[in-house]
Amino acid sequence: MAVVREEGRDPAPASAVAGTSGGSEEALEFVRFCYRRRGLGWPEIYDEMCAAAARGSWRGMSYDQLAGIGIRFSLGEMPALLALSTRVVEEERAARVVERSRREDA
């Protein structure tokens, strides 16, 4: 089985990631917000998302409001949240590689 690896972390099954392609743009923005605050992968980004929800750090939204945009923290929703997080981490890292390449070419 293919896995998605995070540096220094146990691998997550690719099936947990592959099954979810999307997420609302707001949900992705929330995950990006949390990732950019700490730059961490799973499971640390989950902790950051929980902290942001508890404090209302992103647009003043708490757990209930975040659930309305597709961010749910229950055990049954973990595969979808992992997939969103993995997507954001991969996109952010790819963007950094492109930016670094642009700077080196300049």
Residue 99: predicted pLDDT:
85
- Res 7: pLDDT: 47
Question: Residue 61, CB half-sphere, CA atoms under 13 Å: how many?
Answer: 21
Rounded to an integer, the average pLDDT of 18-22 is 43
SS3 string, the chain, reads CCEECCCCCCCEEHHHHHCCCCCCHHHHHHHHHHHHHHCCCCCHHHHHHHHHHHHCCCCCCCHHHHHCCCCCCCHHHHHHHHHHHHHHHHHHHHHHHHHHHHHHHC
Q: Is the pLDDT of residue 68 over 60?
A: yes
| Structure-token pair, residue 50 | 């929980």
Q: Pick the residue with more confidence: 9 or 89?
A: 89
* Mean pLDDT value across the chain: 82
Q: Residue ranges of the domains in the chain? A: 24-105
CA dihedral 67, 18, 93, 50 (to 10 degrees): 30
Please give the model's pTM, rounded to 2 decimal places. Answer: 0.73
Predicted confidence (pLDDT) per residue in 21-53, tens digit: 457 999 999 999 999 998 888 999 999 999 999
